[in-house]
Amino acid sequence: MALNFFPKVPKFFKLFEQQNEIVSDTVKVLYDLFDDYTHIAEKCNKIVQNEQAGNTVSKEIAKQLSTTFITPIDREDIHAINMAHENVLNSMRAISTRIGLYHFPQISPGTKDLLLKLKLMIGSISLMLEQLSKKKEVEEQAEKVREIKIEADMLLLLLLGENYERKVDINSDLLEIIKWSHIYDRIEVAFANAEELANVIEGISLKNA
């Protein structure tokens, strides 16, 4: 039997793909939560399960990285993609957790459109990761991510303004404003983390061009 003196190199991009599929599924569930405000506990629980699955993949990437000498891209870049994916997933979990806790009677108008932009942004980032794995340019999708982020920032400011300009008659109205400000804060973090993931992928692509 022939001996293999060369250790098998882990397929990091395959692990990234698994990680990204979990992120993509999570943003779809999160958007559906805002689009169809029913079965809330079920959808929130699905996002929790996705986060746990994502953590498992993240730990596997870290484990393989610690025991591998030969990597397809720089070690720090593998770590950066891994952590950026985890941050996006964690921020989406934070949004769903608060939606589940606050028991809103209905979703604030316009918020669904904001989550749609996050979904589109994640879709473009998925294409960027696919292009990176094939050593192709990612600039086109990176530009789309930036455009979506600008649109999202403008919409977020509009929704924040509308939230703070609500007429307050009773204490429950004030509490509702505070709750929605917390939701918008977590959504802003999710967009920032998604943008960071896109920036990491674009930076790696340029470095390896």
Residues 86, 159 contacting (CB under 8 angstroms): no
Q: What is the mean pLDDT of residues 109-123?
A: 95
Residue 97's pLDDT is what?
96
Q: What is the mean pLDDT of residues 181-197?
A: 97
Residue 25's pLDDT is what?
98
**What number of CA atoms fall less than 13 Å from residue 40's CA on the CB side?**
15
**Per mean pLDDT, which range of 23-27, 145-149, 152-156, 164-168 is the poorest?**
164-168
Residue 170's pLDDT is what?
75
Q: What is the mean pLDDT of residues 93-109?
A: 93
In degrees, rounded to 5, the angle at the alpha carbon of residue 65 between the alpha carbons of residues 88 and 9 is 120
Q: How far apart are CA 110 and CA 35, in angstroms?
A: 10
Q: How far apart are CA 189 and CA 92, in angstroms?
A: 9
Owner of token pair 């204490």 = 171
pLDDT digits (tens, 9 = 90+) for 9-18: 458 999 999 9
Residue 108's pLDDT is what?
84
Could you tell me what percent of the chain has a pLDDT over 90? Answer: 80
Per-residue pLDDT for 74 more than 80?
Answer: yes
Q: How far apart are CA 128 and CA 40, in angstroms?
A: 31
Amino acid at 50: N
Q: How far apart are CA 138 and CA 39, in angstroms?
A: 37
3-state SS, residue 7:
coil
Residues 164, 178 contacting (CB under 8 angstroms): no
Q: What is the mean pLDDT of residues 122-137?
A: 95
- In sign, the C-alpha dihedral spanning 98, 168, 37, 29 is negative
CATH 3.40.50.300 fits 12-207, yes or no: no
Residues 93, 43 contacting (CB under 8 angstroms): no
N- to C-terminal Cα separation, the chain? 40
**Per mean pLDDT, which range of 8-17, 41-50, 68-77, 160-169 is the poorest?**
8-17
- In sign, the C-alpha dihedral spanning 174, 175, 177, 181 is positive
pTM above 0.85, yes or no: yes
